[in-house]
Amino acid sequence: MQEKLLNLKEIALKEIKDTLSIEDVENIRVKYLGKKGEITAILKEMGKLSNEERPIIGKVANEVREAIESEITSKKEELKNIEKQRKLLEEVIDVTMPSKKVRVGKKHPISQIIDEISEIFMGMGFSIAEGPEVETVHNNFDALNAPKDHPSRDMSDTFYINSELLLRTQTSPVQIRTMKNQELPIKIISPGRCFRFDAPDATHSPMFHQIEGLVVGKDVTMAQLKGTLNMFVKKLFGEETKTKFRPHNFPFTEPSAEVDVTCFKCNGEGCPMCKGEGWIEILGAGMVHPNVLRNCGIDPEVYSGFAFGMGVDRITMLKYEIDDIRLLFENDVRFLKQF
């Protein structure tokens, strides 16, 4: 039996040496060392040996098994290295070849304007405040001093979810949330999406963007509002831009004003963009109404504030001379890549 084991070892080692693939090496392992392998079959006959022969044959069998296992391990490593070298030679990547052209996107023009406006106001010490797009009727209308019969509260103008919730029609509710939850003084802008029941056309969209600003503290004046907006329009449209305040009526500010700027295309001389008037309306503003301050727990006898709001879509259209708001939402890459 000892001779049989040694012959088996010699044959196995030769087969391993001559193999050319890891798969063949594995087959040889199973053939000789597996549960039904040849060495196992020989060891099953050890019961026929005498007590003196068993330890001798057992030792030889272990030596044969170890020699075959060692040779299998070495052969596998050898074949793996050969395969690795083959792949390195055959799968060489030419790093000097030009890569596939990758199309890089750009910021949407509305996002560009929001970022530009935000940077201007942050440079003046404003921070950015955000709020939910699904708002309460109280924050969207009641706290902002909008009367019950105000046209914007009608079902034909506002997307109501139920009697208490709606899609915000303006970013002004962020001002309410800020005044209720933040310590004074307050100096914030609130960019975001708004929703109104408008049929889409060249100048209207049921979803649009606004940026509103709010400053509340002691001794806040209309002069500070005018100075802030003057600086803003100069930064956005150019140093030569002038502003004009026209009296208006908003429920949440008193006094209120519409703010016009000199046309940045004709410098106020009159052109098709400004309809020959030389001025373009860009935002509404005013001093925060005392009722709004009271609704937020702020004493209007001690504190005052100003607020302003602008449509980002309109400013985007004006600045880039876009004549149809729908182009901003159709996601036509040919159009968007111009900006």
Domain co-membership, 189 together with 327? yes
CATH code, domain carrying 293: 3.30.930.10
User: Is there a domain that residue 307 lies in?
Assistant: yes
Domain co-membership, 115 together with 41? no
Domain co-membership, 81 together with 118? no
Q: What domain count does the chain have? A: 2
* 331 contacts: CB under 8 Å, gap ≥ 6: none
Domain co-membership, 74 together with 121? no
Domain co-membership, 156 together with 223? yes
Position 47 confidence tier, pLDDT thresholds 50, 70, 90: low
Looking at 27, 57, 90, the residue that finishes a domain is: 90
Domain co-membership, 141 together with 235? yes
> Per-residue pLDDT tens for 102-160?
877 788 999 999 999 999 999 999 999 999 999 999 999 999 999 888 888 888 889 99
User: Contact 150/251 with Cβ under 8 angstroms?
Assistant: yes
User: Is there a domain that residue 99 lies in?
Assistant: no
Domain co-membership, 31 together with 117? no
Angle 115-267-321 from CA coordinates, rounded to 5°: 50
Phi (first) and psi of residue 189, to 5 degrees: -120, 155
User: Is there a domain that residue 95 lies in?
Assistant: no
Angle 164-214-339 from CA coordinates, rounded to 5°: 95
Question: Who has greater pLDDT, 303 or 20?
Answer: 303
Per-residue pLDDT, 71: 85
Alpha-carbon gap, residue 75 to 337, rounded angstroms: 59
Domain co-membership, 163 together with 251? yes
pTM for this entry: 0.68
Per-residue pLDDT, 126: 97
Per-residue pLDDT, 318: 86
User: Is there a domain that residue 102 lies in?
Assistant: no
* 37 contacts: CB under 8 Å, gap ≥ 6: 30, 31
Position 321 confidence tier, pLDDT thresholds 50, 70, 90: confident
Question: Who has greater pLDDT, 155 or 255?
Answer: 255
Looking at 37, 55, 90, the residue that finishes a domain is: 90
* Domain carrying residue 186: 109-336
User: Is there a domain that residue 213 lies in?
Assistant: yes
User: Contact 253/304 with Cβ under 8 angstroms?
Assistant: no
Position 32 confidence tier, pLDDT thresholds 50, 70, 90: confident
CA-based radius of gyration for the chain: 41
Position 49 confidence tier, pLDDT thresholds 50, 70, 90: low
Percent of the chain with pLDDT over 70: 97
User: Is there a domain that residue 104 lies in?
Assistant: no
Winning range, highest mean pLDDT, from 128-142, 252-266, 312-326? 128-142
Percent of the chain with pLDDT over 90: 50
User: Nearest-CA neighbor of 309 among 243, 241, 258, 273?
Assistant: 258
* 191 contacts: CB under 8 Å, gap ≥ 6: 114, 117, 118, 128, 130, 171, 209, 210, 211, 312
User: Contact 293/300 with Cβ under 8 angstroms?
Assistant: yes
Per-residue pLDDT, 148: 87
> Per-residue pLDDT tens for 172-182?
999 999 999 99
